[in-house]
Amino acid sequence: MHYDTAAPRTAIALQNAVAGSAGPLRAVFACVGAPSSKKPVADTPAAEFTAVYQANVMSLVHTWHALADRARADHASVLAIGSDAGRAARAGNGPYSAAKAALESLVVTLAKEEQPHGVRANLLAPSLIDSRLAHHVMALKGVTDPDAYYAQLPCGRPLTLDEVAAACIDLATAPQRACTTGHVYPLGAVT
């Protein structure tokens, strides 16, 4: 089903779809994000800060409001996809870095609040992922030599979507992760 975190009626549809599905809700993945324009804070309109925060943080809040009851009943795992930018603030990335730092704080808070209900909450913080969005962001930054840019990354290359997806599934559902909650897991980043 289509779920738009900014449209309350789709949250109700999501809630109904999950309530009507057979089997337990094992994991909730929060993978929504939006980049910033890469301008200095002084040149970034306040509305951009609000929009980036809405996409990167409030999307999880809206999703949790829709799914909390079922997630608690089924002792689900919550995994949010953040970014290494939440801890490695870079010039020209104010709205995005601030939003990803707020998402990290939200996930740790959620872990503490939901632990008594048997819900785990963690955050995966990958470095650059090879995607159309990454290419768009590099263009905003003025990157003209992607290979040279990639060489500066901790892995010397961007992460693949498959690598990130495999890490997500593992962190959210693997039996050996059953006792982990409130953690931030860097992926392809030096902390």
* Cβ atoms < 10 Å from Cβ of 42: 6
User: What distance in Å separates the CA atoms of residue 84 and residue 151, rounded to the nearest whole number?
Assistant: 17
Least Cα distance to 122 among 183, 59, 188 occurs for 183
Instruction: Give the model confidence (pLDDT) of 109-131 as tens digits.
Output: 999 999 999 999 999 999 888 88
Ordered by where they begin, the domains of the chain are 26-127+160-187 (3.40.50.720)
| H or E stretch covering 141 | helix 132-141
- Degrees, nearest 5: CA angle 76-55-30: 20
pLDDT at 150: 87
**Residue of higher predicted confidence among 6 and 35:** 35
| Range from 47-51, 80-84, 168-172 carrying the lowest mean pLDDT | 80-84
Q: Give pTM, 2 decimals.
A: 0.90
| Range from 1-5, 153-157, 182-186 carrying the lowest mean pLDDT | 1-5
φ/ψ of residue 125, rounded to 5: -115, 85
Mean pLDDT of 45-56: 94
User: What distance in Å separates the CA atoms of residue 125 and residue 122, rounded to the nearest whole number?
Assistant: 10
